[in-house]
Amino acid sequence: MIFHRYVHVLPLLAVLGSVTALGVGTSFAKQLFPQVGSLGTTALRVGLSAMLLLLIWRPWRWPLSRADIGSVVRYGVALGFMNLLFYMALRTIPFGVAVAIEFAGPLTVALVSSRKKIDFLWLAMAIVGLGLLLPLHSGISGLDPQGVCFALAAAVCWGAYIVLGKRLSHLHAGQSVALGLTVAALAVVPFGVWQAGSALLEPRILLFGLGVAAVSSAVPISLEMVALKRLPQEAFGIMTSMEPAVAALLGLLMLDEHLTTLQWLAIICTMLAAAGSAVTARRTQTSDR
């Protein structure tokens, strides 16, 4: 009986572990900014993650069509610039806030195909959450406009990453992610080299970057694959919606980033919108069958 319960709890713990590992990795990555800058940190994170996943999955074992190659390139470029722009946002705005703004990307993708009136409630919550974070009035938000713009651009890339990733759903997950990250590395590593130069090759920086890459990519992706095999899509979407809150808590604990009450309210609105859209999307797919 105890083992049976554990089997049901395991995928939920896997999602929580994935979200937490991603947040911990990003929090550690931000500590590299003084040494190699945001662009250099992106280069280390994406470049070393690609190397790790190439070694783990060996994607050359599966053939690719010419159309698939083009799809992988577009997917990888979106993935690379999503990371690059997000880390540039982290220079001036808190981690949890940046994640909440970036969530506008997947939320938009989910709500564009809305078919039910309740979807407009999730859209309204997302707009309220975003409105509380945008520096429309300095007295309300107090966020750096440039950082917000980078986070919004990262949101656009995240939306594109989701749309383009669906076109690779027929490929093995390990193959698509490993090849996508390789393309992402080719797209963004030159920016890091331009900013940080030879500092990227310092043994201490490389070792720290390898740890960030493992915690930010290899661990979360592996845990997500465990969860997706055992969880309904609805439950996975609800659990993933915790990411802004987890990021905000880790930002507080690891980076000493204190958020205002309104910023916490905005994060809660974003989480509710993400969880609600996941529930609605799943029910819509079920009714279509």
**Closest-CA residue to 282 (of 125, 108, 159, 116):** 116
Domain-by-domain residue ranges, the chain?
2-288
Angle at 122 between CA 164 and CA 216, to 5 degrees: 45
Joined together, the tokens standing for residue 273 give 């919108």
H helices present in the chain, as ranges:
2-30, 33-57, 66-89, 95-102, 104-112, 119-133, 145-166, 173-196, 203-213, 219-230, 233-240, 243-255, 261-288
Q: How far apart are CA 287 and CA 264, in angstroms?
A: 35
Residue 260 phi, psi (nearest 5): -80, 170
Q: Is the model's pTM score more than 0.75?
A: yes
The confidence score (pLDDT) of residue 3 equals: 43
N- to C-terminal Cα separation, the chain: 34
Q: How far apart are CA 66 and CA 68, in angstroms?
A: 5
Q: How far apart are CA 40 and CA 87, in angstroms?
A: 10
Q: Do 278 and 117 touch, CB atoms closer than 8 A?
A: no
Q: CB burial class (10 A; 0-12, 13-18, 19+) of residue 112?
A: exposed
The confidence score (pLDDT) of residue 222 equals: 73
The confidence score (pLDDT) of residue 278 equals: 76
The confidence score (pLDDT) of residue 1 equals: 46
Q: Do 278 and 233 touch, CB atoms closer than 8 A?
A: yes
Encode the chain (289 residues) as per-residue pLDDT tens digits. 444 555 567 777 888 888 999 999 999 999 999 999 999 999 999 999 999 999 989 999 999 999 999 999 999 999 999 999 999 999 999 999 999 999 998 888 877 766 677 878 888 888 888 888 876 554 445 788 899 999 999 999 999 998 898 888 888 888 988 999 999 999 999 999 999 999 999 999 999 999 999 998 878 877 776 676 666 666 667 778 889 999 999 999 999 998 988 899 999 999 888 888 777 765 555 444 4
> How does DSSP classify residue 241?
T
The confidence score (pLDDT) of residue 92 equals: 94
